[in-house]
Amino acid sequence: MIEEPSERLIAWMKVIILASLVVLGARQYIFEPVEVHGKSMMPTFEENDRIILMKISEIEHSDMIVFKVAEDRNYLKRVVGIPGDVVEMNNDHLYINGIETDEPYLEQNRKVAEQLGFSQLTEDFAAVTVPAGYYFVMGDNRLNSVDSRMLGFIKGDNILGEVKFRLSPVDHLGPVK
Domain of residue 152, residue span: 33-175
The pLDDT confidence band at residue 29, using thresholds 50, 70 and 90, is low
Q: Is residue 28 part of a domain?
A: no
For residue 58, give every residue at least 6 positions away whose Cβ sits within 8 Å of its Cβ, in sequence order, or none.
none
Q: Tell me if residue 72 falls in helix, strand or coil.
A: coil
pLDDT at 161: 96
50 part of a folded domain: yes
Q: Give 159: exposed, middle or buried? Use CB within 10 Å, 0-12, 13-18, 19+.
A: buried
Share of the chain residues as helix, strand and coil, in percent rounded to the nearest 5: 25, 35, 40
Taking residues 45-70, report their average pLDDT: 95
3 belongs to a structural domain: no
Model confidence pLDDT, tens digit, residues 133-160: 999 999 999 999 999 999 999 999 999 9
Contacts of 43 (CB under 8 A, 6+ apart): 108, 109, 140, 141
Residue-level pLDDT at 139: 97
| Total domains, the chain | 1
pTM of the model: 0.85
Tell me, yes or no, whether 62 lies in a domain.
yes
CATH number at residue 58: 2.10.109.10
Q: What is the pLDDT of residue 87?
A: 99
Using DSSP's 3-state secondary structure scheme, residue 144 falls into: helix
Quick check: is 19 in a domain? no
The answer to the question of residue 85 being in a domain is yes
Peptide bond into 175 cis (omega under 30): no
Give the CA dihedral 100, 137, 156, 50, nearest 10 degrees.
-120
Would you state the pLDDT for residue 85? 99
Query: Strand order of the sheet with strand 99-101?
Result: 99-101, 93-96, 86-90, 125-129
151 domain residue, yes or no:
yes
60-95 per-position pLDDT tens digit: 999 999 999 998 899 999 999 999 999 999 999 999
Q: List residues with catalytic annotation.
A: 40, 77
Residue 1 has pLDDT above 60, yes or no: no
At 15 the pLDDT is: 85
Please check whether residue 130 is in contact with residue 81, taking contact to mean a CB–CB distance below 8 angstroms.
Answer: yes
pLDDT in tens, 109-118: 999 999 999 9
**Residue 90 domain-assigned?**
yes
